Structure 1
């Protein structure tokens, strides 16, 4: 039995700003959608959206707003945080970013040092926009240094030219271990290549909420770009964290990126739930959880330029909503599924076997772009094949195929969304990211989860300190309050 086709489904097509969401293969009938919208209203979703944009302290565990939308509020309409309009400060950062774009001349390499939310967003944007036909680029080599593994550091330092390199250190707290250690290593490399203290000072920039720590590191005051506590790291690419976008492709392109996100913000804020794309996407996933108890979902962009998008989304979704208790500390029935994905059609030759014939139902978001991403003579023919594969996979997953040979039988009834972008440029990249940010926040509201803290990442960091000390000491370790027996034995294996 196949999922209901569009003609029998309840208004499967929804649009905003040229973006189309087709939910026809979700298998949700009119009664099902009505029930879902009733659930959303019972969860007070409309009030949650108003509170989100209104600067209320919806991050209840840390007692702060979640106002990343202010970072792309190009109209500069007042956004109040505890009675203070934050837009003058945000606009001042825009002005400084634009000024910096005009100052940098003769820069061959930029080393952007940050991890997690300080890395995924700008890395994704730089990679995606590099594939936009005819985009204006300043041609700098943009290096992203995140991993504490020196393999990544070594690869970058072998390519970069020290006397024409600028370094951007991104850390909200300016205490992130991986970031500070990598930054010290890059400064050492600059010194070893003959740069004076003055030259190094002119090469270093920081994006942080901890200005004193950045100054103590040696960053000049006018090279420090602010970061506010009402912006979560994974929601920060719209701030000065996105400096690489403006520096590489120009400030006008960065503004287009912000404008796309702002357009989705306006849609999310004002559209009725029944027409609201982030809400519909969230409710379709909730439906599959309730009906099939799904444990994972896949996002497959049929655009090679978006190959980094699933990695960005993994952090957004699983760091935001990967929790087992709600805002009141009570156990939740549902929370974030495991997120995975990669670009199509490559993904078809990897894990689609499991998607089609595996024992678990795994919903999929297919993302397609109407226009090809190159001007090659073969572009239209290649793009036609790319889109045909996207549509065919969705159809096969939904409808399946029955044969007398169990090995060649496809069970079907595998749900999916199709999201269509008119083209992939800075505007629609910004819109795509904001669309999923809003969907993530919506899911958090539906599950009554705080999507804006991440306490689960802290324990491992704390435990790593005594383990690192034991590895540095090099002696035999016994189990103690900070190191259990298994870990002590493993440390001793490394220390042999």
Structure 2
């Protein structure tokens, strides 16, 4: 293990320097920082192909950035990055490699893992996907009655659902409507009932996405889907025509009734929340066509190249990670908003919430010791315009400062005269308002100019003050399309990796998901029986008793 694995982050000189700088920067206002440096935007923005990243509206200066960049050296970030791309087992608690980047390795560079070339495995999996996608989209894949497939229902949960659904929603204007794609993730029967109600069983193809093929929510929904199909088909052999699987458990999928040729590969070196680039992305390829799925991979690969080769001073994912660390761990801002100003990205906040919080919502270091410092903020958000009429009041005037990422596009995918200019004027205005604010003197002058009497001015002025100084990043894309969306997602993926190294936490496990799932399995047995077992606390015991008593009435 390198020196950075053995050194507590708080003992590093750069970490100590940043702690001291944070105290002094809390007394600075970004308005003054801009006033003092006419080159601030040029210094603190980066123009990548298709994406402009502006981080100048953060509470940073040259000294802060110098220490943040020094921290990347102190923690050996470049070495850890190379280990990831070289298939070393950097998922320390599960002894696994982290190779979602291999899924979009477009130059097919050799990647050796356990003596096998991963690049060849990925190309074989992509070829399998392409053949299947073309068969379905061209009407060659038939249901049990010989009719072509018109609807795809993807059954998965977490990364097996959220990534593909976010992408198909974002890119639906690029779909030729060869098939209609639907998603089922919630074990609440209301969702699958609603999705299946208008569909014809003879024309539906189900994709069951589960690495283990044992995930409770997914398999419950898959079994319900099977029963729904068999009510129409009356023949279990029909399952082979209407179900495919994305799984590493060939035995379970085959026993379910899925033909081995229709089981698509998953590998333990890809975490669910980083898996949309794999066969988990089948719904994307079916909806858009395989060529556009490849464009998505190409965009992500462009960012992989950037992350690998750009110097730290110009490396956008690294800078995003450093700013998150600065805002949360050093300045104490405990949440962050994701605010897309593009209707196509309406699921992006939820997607990034899982990606970052499941990865880095941890409180122990690689060595299993308590960190002693805040790791990542809670992530939340909504479409920008909707948010403006909901929670922006909080962003502008609450006691809690919430750094925000504003994400927009220069060109609309669906231009309507005047709409995009109205949208983007709000986009630009909000980052400005969050930074500059408006002081009491300005408020009073404005009220006086509007003819308000002194008594009214005295009463209203404190309520209208905006302190400003609220950090934002801006990511401005040329246009949302498969390639730029691939770039955007990959930027955040690599930000998450860099955060984990900086914070000395394991980003690629999710043990926090397991405890509740295990308890739920035990409680489900109680809900289906006549007894309530005594092992629970009194609250849980009585909640279960109440549920069962009402259910039995």
The verdict on a shared fold, with TM-score over 0.5 as the criterion, is yes
Give distance in 1, aligned partners of 2:221 and 2:164. Answer: 18
- Return the offset for 1:290: 4.1
- Return the offset for 1:334: 2.2
Greater mean alpha carbon deviation, residues 397-406 or residues 144-153: 397-406
CA distances 1:301-323 after superposition (whole Å, capped 9, x unpaired) = 10011010010101100000001
- For 2:328, the equivalent position in structure 1 comes to 289
Unaligned runs of 5+ in 2: 1-28, 140-147, 445-460
Q: Do 1:49 and 1:269's aligned partners in 2 also have CA atoms closer than 8 Å?
A: yes
CA distances 1:125-145 after superposition (whole Å, capped 9, x unpaired) = 1100013xxx24234221101
CA distances 1:80-119 after superposition (whole Å, capped 9, x unpaired) = 1123211111101111111112211132111100000100
Give distance in 1, aligned partners of 2:507 and 2:224. Answer: 34
- For 1:385, the equivalent position in structure 2 comes to 422
- Return the offset for 1:8: 5.0
1:325 aligns with 2:380: no
- For 1:337, the equivalent position in structure 2 comes to 377
Q: Do 1:370 and 1:421's aligned partners in 2 also have CA atoms closer than 8 Å?
A: yes
- For 2:210, the equivalent position in structure 1 comes to 171
- For 2:12, the equivalent position in structure 1 comes to none
Check 1:113–1:101 CA distance in 2 against 1; reply closer, same or farther (3 A cut).
same
Give distance in 1, aligned partners of 2:93 and 2:321. Answer: 23
RMSD: 1.3
The SS at the match of 2:359 is: helix
1:256 aligns with 2:312: no
**Residue 162 (structure 1) aligned to one of 201, 223, 248:** 201
**Residue 45 (structure 1) aligned to one of 70, 77, 81:** 77
Larger Rg belongs to: 2
Give distance in 2, aligned partners of 1:158 and 1:138. Answer: 20
- For 2:51, the equivalent position in structure 1 comes to 19
Q: Do 1:54 and 1:80's aligned partners in 2 also have CA atoms closer than 8 Å?
A: yes
TM-score by length of 1: 0.96
**Residue 124 (structure 1) aligned to one of 153, 159, 166:** 166
Give every structure 1 segment of 4 or more consecutive aligned residues whose post-TM-superposition deviation is greater than 4 Å: none
Q: Do 1:215 and 1:221's aligned partners in 2 also have CA atoms closer than 8 Å?
A: yes
- Return the offset for 1:197: 2.5
Q: Do 2:325 and 2:375's aligned partners in 1 also have CA atoms closer than 8 Å?
A: no
Give distance in 2, aligned partners of 1:142 and 1:406. Answer: 52
CA distances 1:132-174 after superposition (whole Å, capped 9, x unpaired) = xxx2423422110100000101101102211000000000111
- For 1:397, the equivalent position in structure 2 comes to 434
Give distance in 2, aligned partners of 1:81 and 1:103. Answer: 32
Give distance in 2, aligned partners of 1:143 and 1:119. Answer: 10
Give distance in 2, aligned partners of 1:155 and 1:259. Answer: 35
**Residue 85 (structure 1) aligned to one of 117, 129, 139:** 117
Match runs of 1:108-147 below 5 Å: 108-131=150-173, 135-147=174-186
- For 1:74, the equivalent position in structure 2 comes to 106
- Return the offset for 1:201: 1.1
Check 1:336–1:195 CA distance in 2 against 1; reply closer, same or farther (3 A cut).
farther
Give distance in 2, aligned partners of 1:18 and 1:108. Answer: 34
- Return the offset for 1:242: 0.1
Give distance in 2, aligned partners of 1:254 and 1:195. Answer: 36
**Residue 409 (structure 2) aligned to one of 369, 373, 380:** 369
**Residue 541 (structure 2) aligned to one of 481, 488, 492:** 488
TM-score by length of 2: 0.86
Q: Do 2:324 and 2:376's aligned partners in 1 also have CA atoms closer than 8 Å?
A: no
Q: Do 1:56 and 1:65's aligned partners in 2 also have CA atoms closer than 8 Å?
A: yes
- Return the offset for 1:218: 1.1
Give distance in 1, aligned partners of 2:226 and 2:38. Answer: 62
- For 1:205, the equivalent position in structure 2 comes to 244
- For 1:461, the equivalent position in structure 2 comes to 517
The SS at the match of 2:306 is: helix
1:411 aligns with 2:467: yes
Give distance in 2, aligned partners of 1:121 and 1:200. Answer: 26
Give distance in 1, aligned partners of 2:376 and 2:179. Answer: 38
CA distances 1:253-292 after superposition (whole Å, capped 9, x unpaired) = 0000000000000000111000000001111111112442
Give distance in 1, aligned partners of 2:113 and 2:48. Answer: 29
Give distance in 1, aligned partners of 2:166 and 2:495. Answer: 19
- For 1:7, the equivalent position in structure 2 comes to 38
Q: Do 1:76 and 1:87's aligned partners in 2 also have CA atoms closer than 8 Å?
A: yes
Q: Do 1:14 and 1:21's aligned partners in 2 also have CA atoms closer than 8 Å?
A: yes
- How many residues get paired? 487
Give distance in 1, aligned partners of 2:101 and 2:251. Answer: 27
Give distance in 1, aligned partners of 2:103 and 2:306. Answer: 16
- Return the offset for 1:367: 0.5
Give distance in 1, aligned partners of 2:374 and 2:71. Answer: 14
Q: Do 2:359 and 2:508's aligned partners in 1 also have CA atoms closer than 8 Å?
A: yes
**Residue 278 (structure 1) aligned to one of 307, 313, 317:** 317
**Residue 481 (structure 2) aligned to one of 415, 425, 430:** 425
Give distance in 2, aligned partners of 1:417 and 1:435. Answer: 13
CA distances 1:182-211 after superposition (whole Å, capped 9, x unpaired) = 000000000011353233211110001111
Give distance in 2, aligned partners of 1:334 and 1:79. Answer: 35
